[in-house]
Amino acid sequence: MAKVNISLDAELVVEVMVLAGIGSPQDAIEAIVRDYVARGHRTEARTELKEHSRRELDVKPQDPHG
C-alpha cells in the first residue's frame, strides 16, 4: 500500500489522540480517516436505499384541483 506523508498541527493531532484514546499519532489519524470514509459509505448506502424505494413506489400523478 502506498503511503502519504503530510504535516498537521501538533495540537490538533494531540486532541485527536486524546479523544480517540489512541497513543500513536499515526494510528489516531488513520482511525479518524477510516471512520470518516466508513461514515461516507453508510450515508451513500442509506441515500441509495431511499432513492431505490422511492422509484419502486407506484406513485400516481394527482388530478389537478381547481
Band (pLDDT 50/70/90 cuts) for residue 59 is: low
Instruction: Say what the pLDDT of residue 48 is.
Output: 75
By percentage, how much of the chain surpasses pLDDT 90?
58
Which residues, including other chains, have CB under 8 Å from residue 8's CB and lie 6 or more apart? 29
Which has more pLDDT, 65 or 5?
A: 5
Cα–Cα distance for residue pair 51/45, rounded to 1 Å: 10
pLDDT at 6 over 80: yes
